[in-house]
């Protein structure tokens, strides 16, 4: 079923603006897109950890082109009864739109909640009490919990983190 989903999906979706164009932009943003093989590997590991749960809520706090969430959806489609609820967050609105569209096309059964913004800022602004995160989706009751967080590590040099 994964191969069918990947065929249907075709090549990896790109955000409307595409990946960063130059080395300076890549260096400043830390935007590196996850290769499909790595995305599938991480998806396998993540779903192995949760077992055959009925609905698995997966958060990608920096979704980029959505390759990690697409890989999770593809792997979950192989397990009868397992469904994915994808939570996609990214600072780039084009990336969020591209991820939403790619998931809707490749995996229409996947419920997708998207937010544009900096995950760390959103998370710290929404602390209800220590250890609790309450995004607007959670407060409305449409998102009860997150089972898996999947992410491509940021590739930002520490010298760039404090730069303006």
Residue 70 sits in which domain range? 2-12+33-153
Helix 36-50 / helix 67-76 crossing angle, nearest 10 deg: 50
pLDDT of residue 158: 59
Instruction: Examine residue 21 and state whether it is found in any structural domain, yes or no.
Output: no
Task: Say which CATH number the domain at 135 has.
Answer: 3.40.50.150
Instruction: For tokens 């980029």, name the residue.
Output: 64
Counted domains in the chain: 1
Instruction: Examine residue 133 and state whether it is found in any structural domain, yes or no.
Output: yes
Q: Which of 28-42, 69-83, 145-159 has the highest mean pLDDT?
A: 69-83
pLDDT score of 10 more than 80? no
Residues 77-92, mean pLDDT to the nearest whole number: 89
Instruction: Examine residue 46 and state whether it is found in any structural domain, yes or no.
Output: yes
Give me the sign of the Cα torsion angle 97, 103, 106, 109: negative
The 10 Å CB-count burial string (b at 16+, else e) for 43-60 is beebbeeeeeeeebbbbb
At 129-150, the pLDDT tens digits run 544 555 555 544 455 678 889 9
- Structure tokens that stand for 57 in this block: 């809520």
Q: Which of 108, 113, 116, 118 is nearest to 144 (CA)?
A: 113
């Amino acid at each position: 079923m994964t191969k069918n989903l990947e065929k249907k999906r075709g090549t990896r979706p790109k955000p409307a603006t595409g990946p960063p164009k130059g080395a300076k932009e890549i260096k400043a943003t830390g935007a590196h897109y996850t290769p499909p093989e790595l995305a599938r590997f991480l998806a396998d590991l993540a779903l192995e950890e949760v077992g055959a749960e009925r609905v698995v809520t997966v958060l990608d706090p920096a979704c980029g082109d959505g390759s990690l969430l697409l890989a999770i959806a593809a792997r979950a489609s192989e397990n009868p009864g397992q469904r994915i609820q994808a939570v996609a967050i990214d600072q780039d609105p084009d990336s969020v739109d591209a991820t939403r569209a790619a998931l809707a096309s490749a995996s229409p059964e996947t419920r997708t909640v998207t937010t544009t913004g900096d995950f760390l800022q959103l998370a710290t602004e929404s602390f209800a009490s220590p250890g609790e995160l309450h995004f607007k989706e959670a407060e409305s009751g449409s998102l009860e919990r997150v089972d898996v967080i999947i992410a491509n590590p940021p590739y930002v040099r520490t010298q760039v983190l404090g730069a303006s």
